[in-house]
Structure 1
Amino acid sequence: MANILVVDDELGIRDLLSEILNDEGHHVELAENAAQARAVRQRIRPDLVLLDIWMPDTDGVTLLKEWSASGALTMPVIMMSGHATIETAVEATKIGAQSFLEKPITLQKLLKAVEAGLARHAPPSPAIAPRPGIVPSRPATMMAPVAMAAELTVEAAMTGGQSLPPAMEMGPQPRQTFELDKPLREARDEFEKCYFEYHLAREGGSMTRVAEKTGLERTHLYRKLKQLGVDLSRGKRGGG
């Protein structure tokens, strides 16, 4: 889990990026302008910053220059804008920005850029020297148990420490009925809300898996769930 600072003057973008990054397991700090971003940077050392270029008080490129000149640019910064020119993006990169995301930001590009930024910023793992007379194991031999342990840990967290067959995870489900004597739009919204609540509960609240199951791009999925008034905390409580 990483500490990520999102700086953007648009409330909708801050909320959306925060939801996506929180769902990925990160801790997110929010700032709507450069002044708030400076305050957060003084209080904590974020692992990564998503920084909007066009803001009302101080633009993102100027803030980036400030951090670079003061020695505060110790974290990867990803610039964001829907109206920036190539020259602006090149200038930000020369100052120290790691990459540039053009709005509207797709989910895949966001997660890929964040993953790359955190990977570049992560300290290298210390090498462990083998003890004299002991031949180190092959990497492939060492990796398999680690991956298996991670899978078991996640499953245990979702099932109370037990490995259950897939058919038994949900248990018996109540029969759902719908009133048909109502306008089509109301009936459709009622069905869709029930449909998404079912998949949220089944997938333990994971937006990534629900998006895969339902065939929706996750940014659209978030908006759809908000529109339907789906309680996103219900699936996570059911999965814990």
Structure 2
Amino acid sequence: MATILVVDDEMGIRALLSEILTDEGHTVELAENAAQARAARERMRPDLVLLDIWMPDVDGITLLKEWGATGLLNMPVVMMSGHGTIDTAVEATKFGAMAFLEKPITLQKLLRAVEQALARAVPKAAPAPGLSPVTGNGIFRAEPGLTVEAAMTGGMGLPVSMPVELGPQSEQSFDLDRPLREARDAFEKSYFEFHLARENGSMTRVAEKTGLERTHLYRKLKQLGVDLSRNKRGTLA
């Protein structure tokens, strides 16, 4: 079992996450701001940090950058926010975060993110601002299991379980040096193709998995140009 540091300024969130993770057998330390998080990280050397983005003194992204710049980002970090966007998720991963969870955080999403983060190797120090996490030339590469919990059903069509697994391939590259809409569509198309392949083309199961109405899902797939004929089943049933 792991030692996990939970950093969130909301007492209710801290208590809930602590209860869930403790029940799973983990040792949990709590911090309500960046100052407490710094002290706890130095004292306990956590195996994983769950870090809220929006905090009153120093925000989570700033703290993440600080740890990366000072060589202290030697543990996986999962960011949390109730106002997440794909831009926020990309920024978080750019500076060393392993995943992004959108609030409210369900039990299934939390445990899945924790399991995946702990299973991954210790992340390297965060790259310098302006460089992509892998190539430094505008390409954001999603490695196996890397998830980006980016928010939303409405605008993006993604469910945020963040970790959202990026595509059926073992590794996928996304060119960020293009208009946001094009980059977002490419991300979404890969996301839905992954789930269609995993669910053997079952629109019903994919709808349940992604949290979309089946009719909405079908329209979204058509809009993105997803080839349903490649799956064994491509109907709404």
TM-score by length of 2: 0.51
Query: Residue 4 of structure 1: SS of its match in structure 2?
Result: strand
- What is the distance in 1 between the residues matched to 2:107 and 2:26? 15
Match of 2:136 in 1: none
What amino acid maps onto 1:9 in structure 2?
D
Aligned pairs for 1:200-219 within 5 A: none
Query: Residue 109 of structure 1: SS of its match in structure 2?
Result: helix
- What is the distance in 2 between the residues matched to 1:108 and 1:98? 17
Query: Residue 51 of structure 2: SS of its match in structure 1?
Result: strand
How far is the alpha carbon of 1:16 from its aligned partner?
0.3
1:45 aligns with 2:42: no
What amino acid maps onto 2:17 in structure 1?
L
What amino acid maps onto 2:3 in structure 1?
N
What amino acid maps onto 1:119 in structure 2?
A
Match of 1:11 in 2: 11
Match of 2:95 in 1: 95
- What is the distance in 2 between the residues matched to 1:52 and 1:121? 22
1:2 aligns with 2:2: yes
How far is the alpha carbon of 1:42 from its aligned partner?
1.2
What amino acid maps onto 1:97 in structure 2?
A
1:67 aligns with 2:67: yes
What amino acid maps onto 2:7 in structure 1?
V
- What is the distance in 2 between the residues matched to 1:56 and 1:86? 22
Match of 1:116 in 2: 116
- What is the distance in 2 between the residues matched to 1:84 and 1:60? 13
- What is the distance in 1 between the residues matched to 2:89 and 2:59? 13
- What is the distance in 2 between the residues matched to 1:46 and 1:121? 14
Q: Deviations over 1:45-95 (max 9, x none)?
A: 100000000000000000000000000000000000001322111101011
Match of 1:28 in 2: 28
Gaps of 5+ in 2: 123-237
How far is the alpha carbon of 1:28 from its aligned partner?
0.1
- What is the distance in 1 between the residues matched to 2:42 and 2:107? 29
Q: Deviations over 1:154-182 (max 9, x none)?
A: xxxxxxxxxxxxxxxxxxxxxxxxxxxxx
Query: Residue 120 of structure 2: SS of its match in structure 1?
Result: helix
Residue-pair matches, total: 122
What amino acid maps onto 1:32 in structure 2?
E
What amino acid maps onto 2:62 in structure 1?
T
How far is the alpha carbon of 1:121 from its aligned partner?
3.6
**Aligned-CA RMSD value:** 1.0
What amino acid maps onto 1:46 in structure 2?
P
Instruction: Report which stretch shifted further, 81-90 or 67-76.
Output: 81-90
- What is the distance in 1 between the residues matched to 2:7 and 2:42? 14
Q: Percent identical across equivalent pairs? A: 80
1:82 aligns with 2:96: no
What amino acid maps onto 2:43 in structure 1?
R
Query: Residue 97 of structure 1: SS of its match in structure 2?
Result: coil
Query: Residue 88 of structure 1: SS of its match in structure 2?
Result: helix
Query: Residue 15 of structure 2: SS of its match in structure 1?
Result: helix
How far is the alpha carbon of 1:24 from its aligned partner?
0.2
- What is the distance in 2 between the residues matched to 1:22 and 1:81? 21
What amino acid maps onto 1:31 in structure 2?
A
Stretches (4+) displaced over 2 A: none
Gaps of 5+ in 1: 123-240
Select the structure that is richer in helix. Answer: 1
Contact 1:53–1:81, Cα closer than 8 Å, also in 2: yes
Match of 1:206 in 2: none
Query: Residue 14 of structure 1: SS of its match in structure 2?
Result: helix
- What is the distance in 1 between the residues matched to 2:43 and 2:118? 20
What amino acid maps onto 1:89 in structure 2?
A
